[in-house]
Amino acid sequence: MTRPFGPQPAPDSGPRLGPAPAPGPMDTALTRLAGCRYPVVQTGMGWVAGPRLVAAACEAGALGILASATLGREETAAAIRAVKRRTDAPFGVNLRADAADARERAEMLVAEGVRVASFALAPQQDLIDLLKDGGVAVVPTVGAPRHAEKVASWGADAVMVQGSEGGGHTGPVSTTVLLPRVLDAVDIPVVAAGGFRDGRGLAAALAFGASGIGMGTRFLLTSDSTVPDAVKRAYLEAEDTVVTRAVDGLPHRVLSTPAIEALERAGGLRRLLLALRNARAFRTEAGAGWAPLLREGWAMRRSTGAGLGRTLMAANTPMMLKAAMVEGRTDAGVMSAGQTVGAITDLPSCRDLVHRTVREARETVAGLPG
């Protein structure tokens, strides 16, 4: 099926003399914690959530999260300052809790006055304490109630719950099942992620009791995203996603591509050789020597229980993502995607997307019976 390509107006839009005024703020525990206008989070996607997208999301009233896992420490500092040059709005930075220099990066966030630190893997309590003492809110992503309880007991300010519908690394439980269980388990703000793309989803999440929603694929597919046009076109033409373990040994929701199909067919030795090649490339990309890379690999092995082979395979993810998201190689890269990708048909600006989402949420609530 061929879909329209390029920035598209909202489906219900007609001729306008100028942009529609921004909707009024929505007050939730998330907006109060993060200082954003609306309870919408642009998630920290590697090679995608750079300064331009983050600043555009923040200027629109959402909470933008800068991805730093694929950046060296100095590159991360430069990216933070680039966001601050583009916007005065508060924003967040996604950190790897298992990185060898996680503490130094956390200290950088404190020094730079970053509002939120998000994590894919749960940070240890000393890292949470360092950030909180420096005025940075800590928001780990969790995939089970027990994980939410653990980080809440360590002092996390909020959690993001990602269900199986989400793109990238994912778990087996859907958002609609996982979200209420986590809400029942903790008394800190909960942000829902996995399967969200519009105001109806925001209204549903708020009705569950969440403090907001996180969207990744939907922000990737905006005119403010720096992802190459060929990749955006592949996303807009996609109908479905697949979950594969062939990339790095963990369940990963992606678009089906020749690269994914080849990895699925490949034997263990071929995958390991690819991992070693990508580990060397990632070492060069991040400006780190082999020693820090190996330390990070062992840290991941300790924190996740991964075997050595899977630890080495972890380098596949950032480099294969780069092949698609930076180099535009749709045939050779990994394109993480949430299940909602099949319902996305346009490329609005972040401003139009966020404002449309808020208006739709209010209209949805207003239209409920009674």
For residue range 113-122, what is the model confidence (pLDDT) as tens digits?
999 999 998 9
Q: What percent of the chain has pLDDT over 90?
A: 71
- Tell me if residue 161 falls in helix, strand or coil: strand
**pLDDT greater than 80 at residue 256:** yes
For residue range 265-317, what is the model confidence (pLDDT) as tens digits?
876 666 666 666 655 555 555 444 445 455 555 554 554 555 555 555 666 67
3-state SS record for 322-347: HHHHCCCCCCCCCCECCHHHHHCCCC
**pLDDT greater than 80 at residue 89:** yes
Which tokens belong to 146? 């027990």
Domains and CATH numbers, the chain: 29-227+344-366 (3.20.20.70), 242-325 (no CATH)
Q: How many CB atoms lie within 10 A of CB 145?
A: 18
Q: Which long-range contacts (CB under 8 A, 24 or more apart) does 284-287 make?
A: 285/70, 285/318, 285/319, 285/322, 286/70, 286/71, 286/72, 287/72, 287/74, 287/75
Over residues 355-364, mean pLDDT: 98
* Least confident window among 7-11, 139-143, 230-234: 7-11
The residues with which 168 forms a beta bridge, in sequence order, are 253
The structure's pTM equals 0.88
Q: What integer pLDDT is reported at residue 258 of this predicted model?
A: 82
In Å, what is the CA distance from 286 to each residue of 70, 179, 336, 340? 7, 35, 21, 31
Q: What integer pLDDT is reported at residue 323 of this predicted model?
A: 84
Q: What integer pLDDT is reported at residue 16 of this predicted model?
A: 46
pLDDT greater at residue 2 or residue 90: 90
**pLDDT greater than 50 at residue 326:** yes
